[in-house]
Amino acid sequence: MKKINDSRIYRYSAIITLIIGITLGAVSFYSILVVEPAVEQLLSARENIDANYKKAYIILRDPQIFAGYDNFDSDRVRNSLTFFDGKIYADEKIDQERKIYLEVLLERRKEGSLLGRNTMVYFFLLSMAAWILFFNERSTAVR
């Protein structure tokens, strides 16, 4: 009986999982290296607190891919979003007492970035396994 050559399936699986891993890693590391430090800098500012907190909130309002607020079960996060949306819409001042709520949103974003990084590693491992299967299949199909 003739052995079926599955090397194309393994190669395409390896390539696709590698592309997904690279994409997730790029998004996660952009958040870790660029966005999160910028938000921390805005939150630690001592001057022009209102403008800095508003900038930080606008950045945090658009969550990282794994840090979406839609399915997050904490009322504290949803209430914070509603509160800050109202403040931004009404152009009201955001005082320093509200910093803790912005820090909660930042922590949520950091957790999402960490999950994205871990998912990237998972997809890299899947890709590596598919490459191993690909090379194994090629070596056995030649014989």
pLDDT at 46: 85
Contacts within 8 Å (CB) and 24+ apart, 74-81: 76/101, 76/104, 77/104, 77/105, 77/108, 80/104, 80/105, 81/105
pLDDT at residue 99, as a whole number? 84
Read off the pTM.
0.79
Asked if residues 115 and 121 have their Cβ atoms less than 8 Å apart, the reply is: no
- In the chain, helix, strand, coil percent, each to 5? 80, 0, 20
Query: What is d(CA 118, CA 126) in angstroms, rounded to the nearest whole number?
Result: 13
pLDDT tens over the chain, length 143 residues: 566 667 888 999 999 999 999 999 999 999 999 999 999 999 998 888 888 888 988 888 877 777 766 655 566 667 777 788 888 888 888 888 888 888 888 888 898 899 999 999 999 999 999 999 999 888 876 55
